[in-house]
Every structure is written in C-alpha cells, then in structure tokens.
C-alpha cells in the first residue's frame, strides 16, 4: 500500500515461499492475499468517485528528488528478481525505481485464482550504486512502474529487452514490429490545451498483474485510475506478435465537470520534417516520432492530416459518428531522412480500433509549439459529443495496434510527403502572400493507371485563392504509382487555412484525402 510505504512500513504479513513460487513470484516478498476481480475493481473506482480526491503520496520526497535523470538511470532492476522470471507464461515482468521525474509510488500486485498479493519493495530487487541517494530510502517505499520483458527463449535476450512499459501518470507505451519505442498512449486525457484551465494528469495508482495460465503470447494487467476529476478501472490484454496489440477496456466516473474528455489518447512528437524547416535549426533533415494523423471515418472515408509544429497551440476537430479508427503514424521509413542513431525511421505507428459503437463525437488533434525533440507536443484522442459533467459514467472498449503502418490499409494511394515552398515560377517575380504546396502520393490505383492517364486533383481551401499554378505529374524516379501534385495558394493575414485535396480519375477516387492546416508567415 502506497500510504504505508510512505512511512517506511512493510505490509502486515508476507506469504511463505511455496505460495510465492506457485504464483511465479520466486523470491519476491508478497503481502497477505485479498480477493480480486475486475468487477470489484470497477466497483472500487465507482465508490472512489463519490469521495473527495486524495493526492498520491510522495514517499521520502527529499531523497527521491536527488535521483535526477542520470542518478535514476544508474539504478537497474535485478532480473533474477523478475516476476515470472522462470514462468509461468512467456514474459517476465520487471519494475521501475522511483526518481525525481517519477516520484509517485504505485502499488504492484500479482493476481492468481481470484486473489491478489501486493509485491513489497526491497532494495535487493535493484542494482543500486554504492554512492546513490537511493540507498537512504526506507523499506517498502514502492515502485514507479513496470515493464514486460521479451519472451524467455525468444530471439532477443529478455533480460535486456522489453516490449511494453507503464511509467508516469497514466502513460504507457509499446514497441512496434521494428523493435523501437517512440510515441506513448494514455489511459485518459483531461482538459488538454483548454484555455485558462490547467491540464490534469490522473494517475494509475494500482496495477494488478495476472499470473498467466499457459505459455501464450498475451499478458493481462488491470489498473485503478484516480485523479481530481475522474476515477476509472482498466483491463489491458497485451499481445506480443508481429508488433504489439493492446486491447483496452475501461469504465470511468467523473468527480467534476471536464471541458475536454480525451478517450484513447495518443501522445507523440513532431518537431519538423521535409514540410517546413527553419534554416539551420538542427543538423538532421527531419526529427519526429510521427508525421501524420490517419482517420477512417464512420462513412468509410480515409483521411491523412499532415502534422504541424504550429506557431501557437491549436486544436482541430474531425467530427464523426461511429469512427472505424484513427492513429498517429510514422510513414517515412527512410533512414537517410533522419541520419540519426535514435532510429526515428523505426518509431512505431499506433492505430486505435474501436471495438464498440462510440457514437457521436470527434477525433481531436492538439498541436503545441516545440523547439526541441524532448517534448511530446502532439495529442490525438476521441472526444465524445456529450458534455462531460460530474456524475457521468463511461465505458469504452478498443484495441491499439503498435506496428510500422496502419493495420487496415485502404486500397487507395497514400500521402507520403507534404512540402512547402515559395509560390509562383522560377525566373519570375514571386507574388506576395503566395505559397506553393507539393504533395506526394504513392501506390493504390495509381500503380495501374493506363498509359497517358493523368490523375485529376481536387483541392479546396477554407480561405484564399488557389492558383494560377497547378500541376499533377508522375515523379521521375521510376517507381510505379508515384505522383506529385503542386498548387499555389495566395492568402492575406495570418489566420490558419484549412486545405483539402485528393486525386481522382473520372468518378473514381484514387487516393486518400490529404488535409493540412497552413499557418501563413
């Protein structure tokens, strides 16, 4: 229990070794068993919503604050102490230590046969340098989070490789099929980018890790969420396959009114790309975890919204009914476009697939200015149309796909790049207020166009004038189905312009619809 841990106290009792081994916990110290079920966790979350919010404890805060990023990084988990290190199941589970940036203690419990037992923190579980301030921490202080290691006997050494992690507030993430971490997901987003209202970051305060029944490729975790405005109960069914899929089922209860309630939020980073890059801002050609938001609407339309690093925080809403899915994707997979050893070319794309009818609402995209890659400045989430009032209850069920590309590709040409330049033509005076847009499309029906057929582009703008220069032509690289469309936009003022374009031939749609929010400068 986190509150007890804050005072350096151990739970009342520890189970004998034989009971621990039966649960696959080895030498871990466990508290007394208590009944557990997902229904009981839901009932607990509902009951908490009727009570005043109690902020989580910050145990031994003065010492924990000495564990800066460097000090914290020197503390590693002793994998011999991993949960399920010798089975059952394929995936050992290891734990994160507390530190300056992850100072809240989170309860970790293991579940077997309807009983849960809290895992008791012990310094012996971690490799702690002799001069580390962590050695001054009291017994039973608790953990910051956990991660799921690669399978024993797999192609990677499980002791040094993990594929899913839960750490900080309600954040979690997974690697995709290219074995690289990148963007994150959250359990919930509360009032993100709402004017005159601070964003709220509820916490997962308890994790219940279910003991696997066999050696399958799925591990189940339950979590209790608590925050000033919301409580919730979550179940995560996490499967390690080609990439990672995480099936999320949760119930929510609001303590307070919420202006922007974000369901299934994805958080990623976009600094700059080939679209627009200030001169000499950085030596790399591109820096981003994701380059676009893809949407599959309830009516079946496929949309691609290229991301921005805007001059000011912006919120875009894509209204929909019963959406089929959305995701923040990394489509640019060419290493030379990044030239960086942190492998932006391998960052996972994440697709959210609703497993129930979500009704009326909007996928909202929040874009926040950033001047560095350390800031996650992009949020995409589903916001229900109904006002989020105190006392409301919600139930959502969806699946996340952590892959290289979207899991349900459309049979249409895809947008592969968005580029901006000066309007007009070389050798002629460049008109004031004119900007040239060049959009690349690839694949789909473009690959099988009859010789001599040129696609028609259909472009609209929320304001300004399109033209006079517009052209669609095949890219001269010998790649079948690789086309480029360019057009000029002339606009006055600095208010954003919403652009929309797609390719067609006759009455046949050839491409997904390209969307872009242009900020004149």
Domains of the chain, by residue range, sit at: 2-403, 414-518
Query: Per CATH, which fold does 2-403 belong to?
Result: Beta-galactosidase; Chain A, domain 5 (2.70.98)
- Give me the tens of pLDDT residue by residue for the chain, a chain 521 residues long: 333 323 222 333 333 334 445 456 667 899 999 999 999 999 999 999 999 999 988 999 999 999 999 999 999 999 999 999 999 999 999 999 999 999 999 999 999 999 999 999 999 999 999 999 999 999 889 999 999 999 998 999 999 999 999 999 999 999 999 999 999 999 999 999 999 999 999 999 999 999 999 888 999 999 999 999 999 999 999 999 999 999 999 999 999 999 999 999 999 999 999 998 888 999 999 999 999 999 999 999 999 999 999 999 999 999 999 999 999 999 999 999 999 999 999 999 999 999 999 999 999 999 999 999 999 999 999 999 999 999 999 999 999 999 999 999 999 999 999 999 999 888 888 888 899 999 999 999 999 999 999 999 999 999 999 988 899 999 999 999 999 999 999 999 999 999 999 999 999 999 999 999 999 98
Evaluate whether 246 touches 164 at the Cβ level (below 8 Å). yes
* Gap between the Cα atoms of 255 and 262, Å rounded: 16
**How does DSSP assign 165-205, residue by residue?**
EEESTTEEEE--TTS----EEES-EESTTBTTB--B--EEE
pLDDT for the residue 214: 83
Mark residue 473 as left, alpha or beta (left: phi above 0; alpha: psi -120 to 50; beta: remaining).
Answer: beta
Q: Give the list of residues 6+ apart from residue 212 with CB closer than 8 angstroms, or none.
A: 24, 84, 88, 89, 90, 91, 219
* Gap between the Cα atoms of 340 and 338, Å rounded: 5
pLDDT for the residue 246: 98
pLDDT for the residue 473: 96
Q: What is the pTM of this model?
A: 0.93
Q: Phi and psi of 344, rounded to 5°?
A: -65, -25
Q: Give the list of residues 6+ apart from residue 65 with CB closer than 8 angstroms, or none.
A: 100, 103
Apex CA 238: angle with CA 236 and CA 241, to 5°? 165
CATH C-level class of 414-518: mainly beta
pLDDT for the residue 151: 96
Residue of 424, 452, 455, 420 lying closest to 437 (CA atoms): 420
Dihedral of CA 433/495/511/287: which sign? positive
| 2-403 and 414-518 agree in CATH topology | no
Residue 121: asked if its preceding bond is cis (omega within 30°), the reply is no
Dihedral of CA 41/42/43/46: which sign? positive
pLDDT for the residue 21: 52
Evaluate whether 63 touches 100 at the Cβ level (below 8 Å). no
- How large is the greatest C-alpha to C-alpha distance in the chain, in angstroms? 84
* Gap between the Cα atoms of 132 and 113, Å rounded: 39
Residue of 182, 212, 201 lying closest to 85 (CA atoms): 212
Count of CB atoms within 10 A of residue 256's CB?
A: 16
Count of CB atoms within 10 A of residue 402's CB?
A: 28
pLDDT for the residue 16: 39
pLDDT for the residue 158: 97
Evaluate whether 232 touches 225 at the Cβ level (below 8 Å). yes
């Amino acid at each position: 229990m986190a509150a007890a841990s804050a005072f350096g106290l151990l739970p009342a009792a520890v189970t004998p070794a034989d009971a621990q081994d039966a649960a696959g916990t080895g030498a871990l110290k466990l508290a007394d068993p208590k009944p557990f079920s997902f229904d009981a966790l839901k009932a607990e979350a509902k009951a908490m919503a009727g009570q005043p919010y109690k902020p989580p404890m910050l145990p031994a805060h003065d010492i924990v604050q000495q564990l800066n990023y460097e000090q914290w990084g020197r503390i590693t988990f002793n994998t011999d102490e991993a949960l399920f290190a010798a089975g059952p199941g394929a995936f050992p589970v290891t734990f994160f230590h507390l530190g300056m940036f992850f100072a809240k203690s989170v309860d970790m419990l293991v579940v077997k046969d309807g009983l849960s037992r809290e895992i008791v923190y012990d310094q012996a579980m971690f490799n702690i340098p002799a001069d580390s301030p962590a050695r001054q921490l009291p017994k039973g202080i608790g953990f910051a989070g956990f991660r799921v290691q690669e399978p024993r006997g797999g192609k990677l050494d499980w002791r040094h490789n993990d594929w899913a992690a839960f750490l900080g507030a309600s954040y979690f993430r997974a690697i995709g099929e290219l074995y690289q971490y990148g963007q994150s997901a959250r359990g919930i987003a509360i009032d993100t980018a709402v004017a005159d209202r601070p964003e709220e970051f509820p916490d997962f305060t308890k994790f219940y890790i279910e003991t696997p029944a066999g050696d399958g490729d799925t591990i189940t975790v339950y979590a209790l969420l608590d925050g000033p405005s919301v409580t919730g109960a979550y179940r995560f069914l996490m499967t390690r396959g080609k990439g990672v899929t995480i099936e999320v089922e949760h119930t929510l209860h609001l303590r307070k009114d919420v202006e922007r309630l974000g369901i299934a939020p994805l958080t990623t980073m976009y600094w700059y790309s080939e679209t627009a890059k200030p001169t000499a801002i950085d030596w790399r050609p591109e820096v981003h975890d994701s380059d676009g938001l893809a949407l599959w609407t309830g009516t079946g339309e496929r949309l691609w919204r290229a991301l921005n690093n805007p001059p000011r925080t912006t919120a875009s809403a894509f209204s929909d009914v019963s959406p089929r899915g959305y995701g923040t994707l990394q489509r640019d997979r060419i290493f030379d476009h990044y030239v960086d050893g942190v492998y932006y070319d391998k960052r996972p794309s994440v697709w959210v697939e609703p497993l129930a009818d979500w009704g009326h609402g909007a996928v909202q995209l929040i874009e926040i200015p950033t001047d560095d890659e350390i800031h996650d400045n992009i949020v995409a989430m589903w916001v229900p149309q109904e006002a989020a009032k105190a006392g409301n209850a919600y139930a959502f069920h969806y699946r996340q796909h952590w892959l290289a590309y979207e899991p349900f590709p459309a049979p249409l040409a895809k947008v592969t790049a968005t580029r901006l330049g000066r309007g007009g033509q070389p050798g002629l005076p460049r008109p004031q207020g004119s900007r040239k847009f060049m959009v690349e499309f690839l694949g789909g029906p473009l690959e099988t166009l009859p010789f001599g057929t040129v696609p028609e582009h259909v472009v609209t703008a929320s304001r300004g004038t399109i033209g006079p220069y517009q052209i669609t032509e095949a890219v001269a690289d010998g790649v079948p189905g690789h086309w480029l469309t360019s057009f000029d936009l002339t606009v006055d003022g600095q208010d954003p312009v919403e652009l929309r374009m797609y390719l067609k031939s006759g009455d046949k749609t050839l491409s997904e619809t390209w969307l872009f929010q242009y900020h004149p400068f």
